[in-house]
Amino acid sequence: MPDNSFDVVSEVDMPEVSNAIQQALKEITTRYDLKDSKSSIELKEKDKKIELASADDYKLKAITELLEQKLVKRKVPLKNLSYGTVIPAAGSTVKQEVTLQQGIATEKAKEIVKKLKDSKLKVQATIQGDLVRVSSKDRDTLQQAIALLRGADFGVELQFTNYRSS
């Protein structure tokens, strides 16, 4: 029975997202090029979405970049943001929805398990909801598994939590 394990998760720290949005909104009100641009950034925490709105595509791009800078400063992974299409809104403004990826989708989890199996490392990987639990008898093997996964790109930011050894 394997004694050591860790969980592979992909999470976005919602309080940090909220703080980044507050900072971005503050900067929007003071920036000359964005004054009177009807720009807004709204966090819909329940839906795990951010709604961006502005006067035109150019200003929408500016507030998107501004938000991304604030998120990076707060160590929120940009890989976990998926941008919807830009939609024309009322009064010749534009809107865009940004979805925050929480957890690992089943397809990504299967890719992670396959990557570990193909590596021939002596680990067991099981999908448990929106995380992947990796276990092994040997702690060094788990370290190798973490290094392997860090080096691969699964399209979402991975974090390694619940490292347990006995």
Cα separation, 147 vs 77, whole angstroms: 18
Over range 1-15, report the average pLDDT.
83
42-90: pLDDT as tens digits: 999 888 999 999 988 888 999 999 999 999 999 988 988 999 999 987 7
Tokens matching residue 111: 């890719």
Cα separation, 135 vs 162, whole angstroms: 11
pTM of structure: 0.78
82 forms beta bridges with 99
Tokens matching residue 52: 């961006």
In this structure, the strands spanning 159-164 and 4-9 are antiparallel
Residues 6+ apart with CB under 8 A from 67: 20, 21, 24, 41, 50, 52
Compute and round to an integer the Cα radius of gyration of the chain: 20
Residues above pLDDT 90, as percent of the chain: 36
Q: Listing from the earlier edge strand, what are the strands of the sheet with 131-136?
A: 124-128, 131-136, 4-9, 159-164
Cα separation, 118 vs 108, whole angstroms: 15
In this structure, the strands spanning 93-100 and 124-128 are unpaired
Domains and CATH numbers, the chain: 4-11+104-164 (3.30.70.860), 14-100 (3.30.70.990)
Residue 132: what residue type? V
Instruction: Residue 15: count other Cβ atoms within 10 Å of its Cβ.
Output: 9
78-122: pLDDT as tens digits: 988 999 999 987 778 899 999 988 888 888 999 999 999 898 889
